[in-house]
Structure 1
Amino acid sequence: MKKVILTLLVVGMAITGFAQDTNDKKTKTISVNGISEIEITPDIIYLNITLQEYQKDKNTKIDISTLEDQLTKAVQKAGIPAENLTISSVSGDQWWRKKKKDADFYASKEFRLKLSNLNKLNSILDGVEDAGITNVYISETTSSKIEAYRLEAKIKALQAAKAKATVMMEAIGEKLGGVMQVIENSTDVIHPMYNNANILIGRFKSEAANTVADTNIDYRTIKVTAEIKAVFAIQ
């Protein structure tokens, strides 16, 4: 999905400028700013998943290798390339036993999973022991075509500047001439902020947790903005 919003209004304009042509004659000019904003749906999503060992019962400990194997197989079953799953960090907690003579180390690993969408998220998480998942959150979103969208935003901003200058000149009975100068003021990519970045949503704490759908995740678009200053001659 992509939505283009052109903003033609800008704080100020100037028709006071003059430029020297090749015959040393002064040319009247108009300087305007054009702004554009493009909204795009991200097709690259980085999901961080933290797994931690736990004591299933008095005699059974689910170790990190078991949880990692479950996650790897779930990712593979979902049809996601193995290289899309990487280890982000490794840590652990120590819980001291009686008299503090021995330590039981509960290892923890955080994985970074690259996805094109979240459609298979629940099926992936379902393949791992619920108690072994301690955190899941969206760490980053972007687009595989982000540079193309940057360029498109600049073009739209320049077109907006020309359209505005044309309207202003027609309003006072003048004609717009050719462009004399183009300055890129700014180009920004605004990534979405998720109110519920931690998307466990009680999934592993509620009896009805498995009914939670992926569509409940606060999913937002990326915004690419550009502002161009253009100076046109007045005929």
Structure 2
Amino acid sequence: MKNLILIAILFTSLVACSQEKNNKFIEVTGSAEMNVVPDQVELEIILTHPGNSKQAIDELDRELKEALAKNGIPESALMFVEVNSPYYWYYRWWWERNYYNSKTYQLKLDCNKYNLDFIKDIKSEYINNIRIVKSTHSKITDYRSEVKVNAMIAAKEKAELLLQSIGEEVGCVIEIVELVEPQNNPYWYYNDMSLTSNCIVPQTDYNYSQMETILQSIKLRYEIKAKFEIK
């Protein structure tokens, strides 16, 4: 009976030692990033016209639609947002009220087909503000996957490098954790850092066809935390 108990104790100790030996691991973090030039943009266009008549608003619509048509941009890419009629008061010997009708539009552009040259065909006195409020890429999902894979590869390479320095080898992966990082759109409306750089100033001599010089690139960055066995 005593021999059986002794054998059981020795067996338990050997199993514990074996488990302890096999539980050696290394935990590392790998990262990767990519800069992507957008091929899809969303513009906010604010046009103003003096006067408080419906004809003033119609004139703004006509001016913008003609500019788009001249540059081959379909009207379906344009969406109406809102109309505002703020008051401006001027006092002299008597008072008078001047209206400035303002209309806001949203325009979605495929940069592979169209550019911003249509801006030149809008009367400058009608333009209140034009800015990029959103940008993306048609293959952004594929690019995100590629960056994540590269981050995982970087994690394994780091583990191999560290273990080689002490004469060890990487074993099977034990755990993979994707570390979440905020993906900020450089043109997001409420991003105060971008409000000074996303406005487009109309210039008759500017080449708006070079979209890559106008658009800010989208930075994709991911980190992967991985745990590997040590052989």
Higher relative contact order (CA 8 A, sep 6+): 2
Return the match for 2:176 from 175, 182, 185. Answer: 182
The answer to whether the 8 Å contact 1:194/1:219 transfers is no
Gaps of 5+ in 2: 1-14, 187-193
Does 1:82 find its partner at 2:75?
yes
Return the match for 2:229 from 219, 230, 233. Answer: 233
Distance 2:170 2:39 in 1: 41
Moved more, 137-146 or 27-36: 137-146
Partner of 1:42: 38
Q: Go from structure 1 to structure 2 and tell me whether the alpha carbon gap of 1:213 and 1:45 turns closer, same or farther (over 3 Å shift).
A: same
Q: Which has the higher helix share?
A: 2
Partner of 1:221: 217
Partner of 1:4: none
Does 1:167 find its partner at 2:142?
no
Overall identity of the aligned pairs, in %: 31
What pairs up with 1:1-235 in 2 under 5 angstroms?
A: 25-26=19-20, 27=22, 28-54=24-50, 63-95=56-88, 99-100=94-95, 103-117=97-111, 120-122=115-117, 124-192=118-186, 193=194, 195-200=196-201, 203=202, 209-214=203-208, 215=210, 218-235=214-231
Q: Cα deviation per residue 1:52-98 (whole Å; 9 max; x = unaligned)?
A: 1126xxxxx97121121121122233222322111222212234588
Gaps of 5+ in 1: 1-20, 56-60, 204-208
Distance 1:218 1:232 in 2: 44
Distance 1:41 1:228 in 2: 24
The answer to whether the 8 Å contact 1:44/1:114 transfers is yes
For the aligned residues, what is the CA RMSD? 2.8
> Structure 1 segments of 4 or more deviating over 6 A?
none
The answer to whether the 8 Å contact 1:181/1:230 transfers is yes
Partner of 2:7: none
> Rg larger in 1 or in 2?
2
The answer to whether the 8 Å contact 1:54/1:62 transfers is no
Q: Which has the higher strand share?
A: 1
